[in-house]
A and B are shown apart, each in its own frame.
Chain A
Amino acid sequence: MSLTDSYQFANENRISAGRQLLQRLHLDLPLLLALLVLAIIGGFVLYSASDRGTDLLIRHALRLLIGFIIMVGIAQLQPDTIRHWSPWLYALGLLLLLAVLAFGQTGGGARRWLDFGLFRFQPSEIMKLAVPMMLAWYLCIAAIPPSPKRLLVALILLIVPTLLIARQPDLGTALLIASAGFFVLFLAGLRWRFILGALVALTASTPLVWNYLLHDYQRQRVLTFLNPELEPLGSGYHIIQSTIAIGSGGIHGKGWLNGTQAHLDFLPERSTDFIFAVYSEEFGLLGVLLLLFFYGVLITRGLMIAAQAQDTYSRLLAGSVTLTFFIYVLVNIGMVSGLMPVVGVPLPLISYGGTSIVTLMAGFGILMSIQTHRRLIST
């Protein structure tokens, strides 16, 4: 047994051979199992949501696979390596965001993509991880809680990319990045009076944001949220139909492939942002609780990893990644069930869609790296 292995935090006598293998591969069993279960559930829902089409399912599986490979790759890195990369990744992300601003591809009235010929790429995805990494890196240079001056710098580091992305406009991603950054600050001991002050300032500035920062379509969505009948073909209709879908599912659900709302074309975007409505129509409250249970496993395990992490950087990052994951779940389910306005946030690991799966899996890679590279240190 090598010296490194004898330093392993766990009691090696009790580690089974399988666990030892997982530890060697730097994988975390609870995270891995919950991810697998969610991916399988996602596959079933997606198959139903796409009217038994396999094209979407295959592409979804391919992205999951890429995400999985990236997760395993990142899990091999030392948390220290990730920390050293943080400012560079952030700088790269910022540069790409500016490039999007300059010559990005327009999509649905929004400029989000960079076209590299073979594939298109959304730099805001990098920022979902780079922002919390950067903030954690910056706050760890000195002790936490941060001094007011450092807090100010950290806020600028957070606000610049958030605004750039909000202007694209991509409100969903901007919201996720703002939360990721906020969680780092919060976990680093941001004083309560700052938080309260920010809340008051935010409320006071609402008219300004409403008039100058929001795009027409975003204003429309808020209005629609308040009065769904306003926009019969748009998101108001979506919300009406998705609540009917969820509610009619009842406790047991209508059964897999039997959702009438979904299959009679009442539900829009049913394989992407509104897939939760398909799921809860077909699997009912029991299915929803099961789904929330597995999300809960991921989140609880992530918070445990944060609590057990051995340096401030790892703690802040692990905490932020986990809590941001919760925000995905909260915002998506909240939006589909009519609790909040429609914001483009996917249901993690279930929704069909794009690059966000890869970013999510990369986040779990970071958690696994933090968990499996712990050393015994004298305290």
Chain B
Amino acid sequence: MPRNTRPALKDNLRETALFNRRLLVASIGVGILTAILISRMFYLQVVNQAHFSTLSENNRVNLLPIPPTRGLIYDRNGIVLAQNQPSFTLTLVPEHIPDLDATLARLQNLIQLTDADIERFHRYRRQKRRFEGIPLRFRLTDEEVARISVDQYRLPGVEIKAELARHYPLGKLASHAIGYVGRISENELDDINTANYSATTHIGKVGVERYYEEELHGEVGYQRVETNAQGRILRVLERTLPKPGKNLYLNLDARLQEIAEQSFEDENGALIAMDPTNGAVLALASLPTYDPNLFVNGIDSVTYRELTSSIERPLFNRALRGQYPPGSTLKPFLGLASLETEALRPDHEMKCRGWYKLKNDERRYRDWKEEGHGKTDLSKAITESCDVYFYELSFELGIDNIHKYLSRFGLGKRTGIDIRGEMPGLLPSREWKRRTRNQPWFHGETLITGIGQGFMLTTPLQLASITATLSQRGQRQTPRMLYAIQDASTNEFKVQDSKPLEPIQDIKQDHWQTVIKAMRDVIHGRTGTARGTGYGMEYEAAGKTGTAQVFGIAQDEEYVEEDVVKHLRDHGLFISFAPVDDPRIVVAVIVENGGSGSSSAAPIARKIMDHYLLNQDPPHEPD
């Protein structure tokens, strides 16, 4: 039959007849199946009604779920980062209370009760049975518990119930890494196995608590209880114990973390310390930080508003989500790309006069050092952070090569750390600019990319990760928070394998050497930008300072730090690793609006390396 032609009238009649026959068959099917349903109902509700009524009357054996104990979180040395603490809830059982209002008034005299507490209590009361405990106040202090206990003989029906609540003993320390748990929200209910969570009230919201929710949670247990016809529990018949969640040991070193967070003093910023050989994250700081304990039993709205509306954004995880221009910290990596592609010969020298100009372009691209660096080669350009040399280098290298080499280090992509919400940064390319802005790439943009400005954005974690790769001469590792998992019932301790990424193989050994040597001189050289930080160091370190512009300075205008309001001041950056010959630690630091990297960020990195290399303890191994 030809397609797309209207069926002839005869066909139409035949089609109608066919359809009606089929519809009749279907209707008969519907009728039969409905009859089956009705007879099933008749069987259940009429024939066996007496049987089921008895079952229902005697349905006194109920199943109650028992929540599993959430796994604990330790640092690498066994210091507790997250634990479960008894928390006291004040509950009232209405059927035992002769006069509810009097009891409430009496309690009001003993402890503070807000209108919200009382309103919530009445709301719950309508939904519960008379013999069930209804919560009135959560998180009683020890003093409140004592006051009520003393008076309890005069308060029938008033009970204090102890539950386990998550507690973070170190408070604000490492909150961006550990995260917190909170009450399960309705959205999360869709995402979890409801049977396994039937007795659980809290769930990991951010950080390690969220990422390893499955390991930490454990499996629900249940008990068969005998109840009377109203549902009151008479006795427990059988109990299947819950399987507790697994304990986690993190790579984090709480002591190192503390030094990191203290070193920032009142500044904001982020710090990552990593073991470059296996990607272990030793410290992950984002400042300012917050107290995760606030979130466990529901934060009050005033505190929450304070946290969210603060311009310092304490809830924002700068280490993973903050995207900053990398500034001059990018130079060693561009230097490698140049050596590999021979964009500039390895022994290329130029005279830096403090500015650079493209042909046919009036604009002067200026160096941070007004008078220039004089005769400069690649090593000196890294050591002294000469911008003019890198303008020329990146012009010769071109944006395509820059994109190619930097993406091999993993820029522009998430590192894959075991915390959710990481940002990918931005590694610009011609294709990217055409796609997002519908504009061609301009030479000038290549130049400023060469000093880590312009479109380029990296997270502190990415900076640490690429520095680790550089220190290992191309061996790449995924940053990892988790060090080991411990089964809470068998105590079996399983150290987690590192997750190596595809290494960068095609860069020659002496090119790595050249760049690492220049980075060593940043700290230990006579003219290095971070020579102040290297003073008195007991080991050899390599590093690179960076300063990221927050706002643009017009042509021929001077940037004077004191004249600029704090939140528009430059960000100070520093990347480093040590010891140079056998790198065991990588540190990346960003100090927001801290001014130059050498004065703000480098001293912090030094403190971290000092502590780690000079008083390091081995990771925890329980017996």
Residues of A within 8 A of B (CB): 51-53, 105-109, 113, 120, 141-145, 147, 183, 186-189, 232-234, 237, 241, 243-251, 260-261, 264-266, 280, 284-285, 288-289, 292, 296, 299, 303, 306-307, 312, 315-316, 319, 323, 326, 330, 333-334, 337, 339
Contacts and interface: CB of A to CB of B under 8 A. Distances in A.
A51 B41 CA distance: 25
Contact of B45 (A188, A246, A306, A319): A246
Given A186-B22, A250-B53, A296-B34, A141 B7 contact: no
21 contacts: A108-B193, A108-B194, A120-B190, A141-B4, A143-B11, A189-B19, A246-B45, A247-B48, A247-B49, A247-B55, A251-B49, A261-B56, A261-B59, A265-B62, A280-B41, A284-B45, A285-B41, A288-B41, A319-B22, A319-B26, A323-B30
A334 B26 contact: no
Contact of A303 (B23, B42, B127): B23
B3 A141 contact: yes
Contacts of A303: 23, 26-27, 30
Contacts of A183: 26
Contacts of B325: none
Contacts of B162: none
A142 B2 CA distance: 8
Given A248-B52, A261-B56, A52 B37 contact: no
Nearest to B188: A107
A339 B40 contact: yes
A108 B184 CA distance: 14
A243 B44 contact: yes
Interface residues of B, number: 54
Interface string B169-200: 00000000000000000010011111100100
B59 A251 contact: no
A285 B27 CA distance: 24
Contacts of B198: 233
Given A105-B191, A187-B26, A244-B52, A264 B227 contact: yes
B95 to A, nearest CB: 16
Say what secondary structure dominates the interface of chain B: helix
B53 A247 contact: yes
For the complex of A and B, 5 pairs with smallest distance between CB atoms: A247-B52, A248-B56, A107-B190, A247-B44, A264-B231
Nearest to A245: B56
Interface string B31-61: 0011011101110111011011101110100
A260 B15 CA distance: 54
B219 to A, nearest CB: 11
B24 to A, nearest CB: 9
A188 B19 CA distance: 6
B34 A292 contact: yes
A84 to B, nearest CB: 14
Contacts of B299: none
A144 B33 contact: no
Contacts of B4: 141
Contacts of B22: 186-189, 319
A321 B230 CA distance: 44
A312 B13 CA distance: 11
Contact of A244 (B27, B46, B59): B59
A250 B40 contact: no
B513 interface: no
Interface of B: 1, 3-4, 7, 11, 15-16, 18-20, 22-23, 26-27, 30, 33-34, 36-38, 40-42, 44-46, 48-49, 51-53, 55-57, 59, 62-63, 65, 126-127, 187, 190-195, 198, 220, 222, 227, 229-231
Contacts of A141: 3-4
B63 A142 contact: no
Given A141-B4, A244-B56, A292-B38, 15 more contacts: A53-B127, A147-B1, A189-B22, A232-B63, A232-B222, A246-B44, A248-B55, A248-B57, A280-B45, A285-B41, A292-B34, A299-B30, A303-B30, A337-B37, A337-B40
Contact of A337 (B41, B65, B127, B194): B41
A286 to B, nearest CB: 9
Contacts of A113: 190
Contact of A289 (B38, B62, B220): B38
A233 B63 contact: yes
B45 A233 contact: no
A307 B22 CA distance: 10
B46 A266 contact: no
A248 B15 CA distance: 49
Contacts of B227: 264
Contacts of A333: 37
B15 A312 contact: yes
Contact of B18 (A51, A144, A234, A299): A144
A343 B53 CA distance: 27
Contact of A233 (B222, B229, B231): B222
Nearest to A339: B40
Contact of B195 (A147, A233, A315): A233
A121 to B, nearest CB: 12
Contacts of A109: 193
Nearest to B47: A247
Contacts of B187: 120
A204 to B, nearest CB: 23
Contact of B1 (A143, A187, A248, A285): A143
Contacts of A108: 190-194
Contact of A142 (B1, B127, B193, B222): B1
Contacts of A187: 19, 22-23, 26
A296 B190 CA distance: 33
B55 A244 contact: yes
Given A249-B45, A289-B38, A237 B63 contact: yes
Contacts of A144: 15, 18-19
A347 to B, nearest CB: 12
Contacts of B27: 303
B414 to A, nearest CB: 14
Nearest to B22: A187
B564 to A, nearest CB: 36
Contacts of B65: 233
Contacts of B48: 247
A108 B15 CA distance: 46
B23 A319 contact: yes
B63 A246 contact: no
A142 B86 CA distance: 72
A168 to B, nearest CB: 13
A307 to B, nearest CB: 6
Contacts of A186: 22, 26
Contacts of B194: 108
A312 B19 contact: yes
Nearest to B220: A233
Contacts of A243: 44, 52
Contacts of B19: 144, 187-189, 312, 315-316, 319
Contacts of B7: 142-143
Which one of B1, B22, B229 has the greatest number of beta carbons of chain A within 10 Å?
A: B22
A246 B210 CA distance: 41
A284 B49 CA distance: 10
B195 A234 contact: yes
B62 A264 contact: yes
A253 B354 CA distance: 92
